[in-house]
Amino acid sequence: MENEFLYGCAYYPEYMPYERIDEDFALMQKAGMNVVRIAESTWSTLEPKEGEYDFYHIDEVLKRAGKYGLKVIIGTPTYAIPSWLAKLDKNVLVHTKNGDVKYGKRQIFNLLSDTYIFYGGRIIRKLLEHTANHPQVIGFQIDNETKHYDNFGAGIQEAFIRLLKSRYTDIEEFNKDFGLAYWSNSIHSWEDFPDISGTINASLACEFEEFQRDMAVNFLKMQAEIVNEYKKPEQFITHNFDFEWRKFGADIAQDGYSYGIQDGIHHLRASDALTHVGTDIYHPTGFQLTGAEIAFCGDEIRSLKNDNYFVLECQSQAFKYWCPFPKQLRLHAFSHIASGADGVMYWNWHSIHQSFETYWKGILSHDLKPSRIYNEISEIGNEIKTLTKEKLCIKKKNRIALLVDTLSLSALKWFPIDKKLSYNDVVRYMYDSLYEENLECDIVFSEYANPNEYEAIICPALYCVSKELTKKLDKFVKNGGILIGSFRSFVADRRVSVYTKTLPAGLTDCFGVHYDEFTHTLNMGAGGKEVKYVAELVTADTAKEIHPYEHIYWSNYSAVTCNEYGSGKAYYIASYLDKAVLKEVLREALKEVYKEQNLPVQTAFPVITRRGVNELNEELNYVFNYSCKPVEVEICVEAEKGYTDAITGKSYVKGDKLRLEDWGVAVLVG
């Protein structure tokens, strides 16, 4: 899309204690930056009173950007509303399951409020009119981290009921479909529909949650339509997708990281509104830096359009848990690139002196002076610039797909595998095991998946599956594919109704197993190690047992099986195995896929490899050392002419040792 790699940061002159744009832009330029992202969240500055507009800060940026070689991404300001808007109409603030939200935070509005939509649309139009023709403006970010905000207001409930009514001409069909007879919840006249926020019917609740996600998708589409009226063809529309935000455990603002798939919107359906996907990725660092979040989130975002993406936000220092060791920032940046990023933008330029995210620190600390962090970011920027985008950035084509699903995520909130194990925990358990074995994968929304594009498919806790999907998966294995299914997959249909078929539903032949019982795991093991959370009591029919359960009564049931089916293989993992045992199973199951990759170094975590093809059509192998100790790895596969490290220029042939410093990076071109 852009010729240059986009390296930059979010910039908020509105939040600065004094004016210093020239000083800041000069520092950015010196740091190899070429882009700033502005305006998002500044509605009350842009429109201080209803109908009064003030583009002062935007103009100040645009006026100077060119001089310092900075492109500009304009964010629509809509995700944080001004207090005058909240005062206009009490319906502007979202009504959630827990009641009305108070004014103060961002992301507290009712996406369906007519008032909100009117004023939101108007400020976008004003902003676009003002900026779209400016030569430095390369694109637009619509809204920010959009979600449904737990909207349970009257408006969304009415819209939901209208949808149901249009689907079911016979209300008894609706009762049947959703199993509403249970506990007298059936409704025999649409007028009797109760407040959904009290429902105990998981099918209805999950359907509504999908509807909430769709309302968020529609909202982004509406914004994109407005932007399309104004933008020039070469300007892009992007959005900053975020992920499940997992807390370390502290009930404070400055805590957490990007963990699993997003609950509040459906990324894939939303990506239709965009020309280019963007994301924010935050992760632990220091001793806890593994690269897993960078890889997971990057793989998910890249798979949306099967194309490269912008990292619109990532951390420089931020709060105390994210203080990076020397050289780690560089490893972050190259890891984003190795996952398919065409741009890396930090959040944000400067640390904010007041309000809420004071310790979500920027590149500059509160003293606004260049420091260690600035210096490291500056070295990275200039290194990337020197190496060039055409050399560094890669297109990726993975052979493995990991299937994810927002409906299964919702359903497992109602029917948790264990109070300590969420849907995303299983997704990350599987993903991280692949990651640590250097098995790269795409992350694909299950019901939209085309299995034929892959050699292997992994299904972690894919609780809700359509018959169509199970048929596709069955055929996929018959035709030679490798399918790996985990416990609590293939259980219910898309109405969150457990199949009346034997489990795994529709795939008993394919997996060659069946079960109807599951238990907790006290004193239970498999492969010599403890299993956890749940154990399905699986009987291997045609499948070969890889690991039986180790247990006084359940040893005649299987923890892991493999079935040869057609010309493929289907593995069933019936319990939460120890990760070492799981990784061994995955390695075995995917060994053909791995072998065919001919990676120059064949290792496992903490040495991580990522592969792709750059614009010069060279195959690149990124090699990362995710540890605080230097490592040496042997070059073990012969490329035609050996490998050259694009960074050092050093050449390697088979048998050579590649040395990586602590948190080191090599880019082997072969």
Binding to a copy of itself (CB under 8 A) within 56-85 occurs at: 77, 80-84
Selected from 520, 641, 654, 657, the binder of a copy of itself by CB under 8 A is 520
Q: Give Dmax over CA atoms of the chain in angstroms.
A: 76
Report CA torsion sign: 65, 70, 73, 79: negative
Contacts of 443 (CB under 8 A, 6+ apart): 261, 296, 299, 300, 303, 401, 402, 404, 431
Q: Does 289 bind a copy of itself (CB under 8 A)?
A: no
CB 181 within 8 A of CB 171: no
Q: Does 541 bind a copy of itself (CB under 8 A)?
A: no
Q: Does 91 bind a copy of itself (CB under 8 A)?
A: no
Q: Which is nearer to a copy of itself, 431 or 518 (CB)?
A: 518
* Residue 449, token pair as written in the block: 């998946």
Q: Does 251 bind a copy of itself (CB under 8 A)?
A: yes
Q: Which is nearer to a copy of itself, 413 or 587 (CB)?
A: 413
Q: Write the DSSP assignment of 380-409 as a string of letters.
A: HHHHHHHH-HHHH-EE---SEEEEE-HHHH
Q: Does 596 bind a copy of itself (CB under 8 A)?
A: no
Strand partners, 343: 6, 310
* Residue 318, token pair as written in the block: 């931020």
Binding footprint of a copy of itself, residue count (CB under 8 A): 110
Selected from 534, 546, 559, 593, the binder of a copy of itself by CB under 8 A is 534
Contacts of 609 (CB under 8 A, 6+ apart): 438, 599, 600, 601, 603, 621, 622, 623, 624
Of the ranges 23-31, 67-75, 174-182, 636-644, which one interacts with a copy of itself (CB under 8 A)?
Answer: 174-182
Selected from 69, 121, 416, 642, the binder of a copy of itself by CB under 8 A is 416
Q: Does 655 bind a copy of itself (CB under 8 A)?
A: no
Strand partners, 457: 401, 483
Selected from 3, 166, 233, 287, the binder of a copy of itself by CB under 8 A is 287
CB 558 within 8 A of CB 548: yes
What is the distance between the alpha carbons of residues 406 and 211, in angstroms, rounded to a whole number?
A: 11
Q: Which is nearer to a copy of itself, 52 or 640 (CB)?
A: 52
Question: How far apart are CB 380 and a copy of itself at their closest, in Å?
Answer: 17
CB 100 within 8 A of CB 93: yes
- Binding residues for a copy of itself restricted to 14-43, rule: CB under 8 A: 14-15, 17-18, 41-43
Selected from 2, 26, 44, 645, the binder of a copy of itself by CB under 8 A is 44
* Site map (CB under 8 A) of a copy of itself, residues 176-215, x = contact: --xxxxxxxxxxxx-xxxxx-xxxxxxx------------
Selection from 519, 520, 488 nearest residue 504 by Cα: 488
- Binding residues for a copy of itself restricted to 318-377, rule: CB under 8 A: 320-321, 323, 325-326, 351-359, 365-369, 371-373
Question: How far apart are CB 666 and a copy of itself at their closest, in Å?
Answer: 21
What is the distance between the alpha carbons of residues 251 and 254, in angstroms, rounded to a whole number?
A: 9
Selected from 19, 23, 48, 67, the binder of a copy of itself by CB under 8 A is 48
Q: Does 467 bind a copy of itself (CB under 8 A)?
A: no
Selected from 249, 596, 617, 655, the binder of a copy of itself by CB under 8 A is 249
* Site map (CB under 8 A) of a copy of itself, residues 497-516, x = contact: xxxxxxx------------x
Q: Does 170 bind a copy of itself (CB under 8 A)?
A: no
Q: Write the DSSP assignment of 312-349 as a string of letters.
A: EEEESS-SGGG-PPTTHHHHHHHHHHHTTEEEEEEE-S
Q: Is 20 helix (H, G, I), strand (E, B) or coil?
A: coil
- Binding residues for a copy of itself restricted to 551-590, rule: CB under 8 A: 552-553
Question: What is the distance of C-alpha 265 from the center of its chain?
Answer: 11
